[in-house]
Amino acid sequence: MTAGSPVPPRGLAVTAVVDTPPAPLLRLEAVEKRFANAVTALKGLDMEVRQGEFLSLLGPSGCGKSTALRLIAGLSEPTAGRLVWNEKEREPHSIGFVFQEPTLMPWASVFGNVHLPLKLAGQSRRAAAPAIEEALEMVGLAGFRDAYPRELSGGMKMRVSIARALVTKPRLLLMDEPFAALDEITRFKLNNDLLEVWRRLNCTIVFVTHSVFESVFLSTRILVFRARPGQVSAALDIDPNQPRDEAFRTSPEYAGLCRDTSLALARAMEAGESLSPVPRAG
């Protein structure tokens, strides 16, 4: 399934995908990240992000998936290896980032918070207003532009955070366990809305999660990470044409995919626990 990409992460092909894989947006080649405290978060990480896909990075805590996301965002530099971008896609402000916490500025209104990326790029409130209104409408917060973060629930704060990432119309949306702190009902709702946004914006999403169910529901592709050292242990494809609705959530296919993914995750965790280098699952 990844034939043709130079560094194929070998993995379980869960669903046969007939289409040729879309062009890569970027590739991580033999990436290593060691922190100042000598912790090696990633070692020999090979992966690619493909145009228009919904890619989930799934793995146990401490497997370096968030580190990989920060490398892609350019928030830190790899200590070895490299990131290769498909050059025409790498424009300034073409990356949106959503953190695990809503990370809103408490002193600014919803409007002000969503305005931030455009403001920093030099756009006035007035010039940015249509884009801000559109982003708020996309996350279902059209009537809340003048509210302050403290007045919002956790789910609504996260929606503001997503609107802020969407306001620049990014080509690539990076999300670091954005729904981990939310209750299940809110999370399901945000999952659905996120898929809607993904379709509307036609962007690429890299989504870090430790929920098997969430990753299967959302993604077109899942990379399962192992820890010590952090690297890709398995890759799973999910038919992108599969409608993601409540029927899918309760279907046998969904259950089957979740089982396969859980299995791959269990293997990845075993590999992370043994101290000797383990061949990657495949």
Partner 1 sequence: MRARGIENSPFRWLLPIAVMAAVILAWEAVVRLNDLPAYILPAPSRVIETLIADHAVLLASMLVTLKTTALALLVAIVGGVALALVFASARIVEFSLFPIAVILQVTPIIAIAPLMLIYLSTDTAVLMCAFIVAFFPILSNTTLGLNSVDPNLRDLFALSGASRLQTLLQLRLPTALPYFLGGARIAGGLALIGAVVGEIAAGSAGQGSGLAFRIVESGYRLNIPRMFAALLLISLAGILIYAALSLVSWLLLRRWHESALQSNR
Residues that bind partner 1 (CB under 8 A): 70, 73-75, 92-93, 95, 97, 99, 101, 103, 105-108, 116-117, 119-121, 148-150
CA pair distance 37, 196, nearest whole angstrom: 41
CB of 117 to partner 1, least distance (A): 5
Q: Quick check: 55 and 219 in contact, CB under 8 A?
A: yes
CB of 95 to partner 1, least distance (A): 7
Nearer to partner 1, 106 or 252 (CB): 106
Nearer to partner 1, 57 or 98 (CB): 98
CB of 200 to partner 1, least distance (A): 22
Nearer to partner 1, 39 or 121 (CB): 121
Q: Residues near 258 by Cβ (< 8 Å), separated by ≥ 6?
A: 212, 213, 216
Q: Quick check: 43 and 225 in contact, CB under 8 A?
A: no
CB of 104 to partner 1, least distance (A): 8
CB of 14 to partner 1, least distance (A): 33
Nearer to partner 1, 78 or 117 (CB): 117
Residue recorded with tokens 């498909």: 86
Report which of 265, 159, 157, 133 is spatially closest to residue 210, judged by C-alpha positions: 265
Strands (E), the chain: 24-34, 40-50, 54-58, 80-85, 95-98, 172-176, 204-209, 221-226, 231-237
Q: Residues near 281 by Cβ (< 8 Å), separated by ≥ 6?
A: 11, 12, 224, 233, 234, 264, 267, 268, 271
Nearer to partner 1, 121 or 266 (CB): 121
